[in-house]
Amino acid sequence: MDINQLTNKIADSTICNYFYIFFIVFSVWAGLSLLGGIWIFGTTKMAIGQLVMFIFNILLSFGISATSALFLYLICERALKPAMKAKKEKLEDEEGGYQDLP
């Protein structure tokens, strides 16, 4: 069996929902890492070297999570949704729906 036959059975909306779920997960992770970093920074006393390493770690975690969330959102919004809309319009035209009458 061809891999394209297997993957064509998966609906575009299912794939889009998958990306939205991970967009939410990565957004929450980015928010928690930033807020947790601010809370720890404000409540603990550290040496300068530890503080610099801690800030770098928090910013790296936040940056990776926020960037991943952005791209997961864009995959669905800019790539999959227009393709789903075009596919739906094509099917409606083929079935004779929504055509102008002469």
Query: What is the C-alpha separation between 97 and 101, in angstroms, rounded?
Result: 11
Q: Which residue is associated with the tokens 């947790």? A: 36
| Per-residue pLDDT tens listing for the chain (102 residues) | 677 788 778 887 888 888 899 999 999 999 999 999 889 888 888 888 888 898 899 999 999 999 999 999 888 888 777 777 777 777 777 766 555 444
Query: What is the C-alpha separation between 63 and 52, in angstroms, rounded?
Result: 16
> pLDDT at position 31, please?
95
User: Distance of CA 100 to CAs 4, 48, 85, 89, Å?
Assistant: 35, 72, 19, 14
> pLDDT at position 58, please?
92
Query: What is the C-alpha separation between 28 and 62, in angstroms, rounded?
Result: 10
Size of the chain in residues? 102
Every domain of the chain and the residues it spans: 3-86
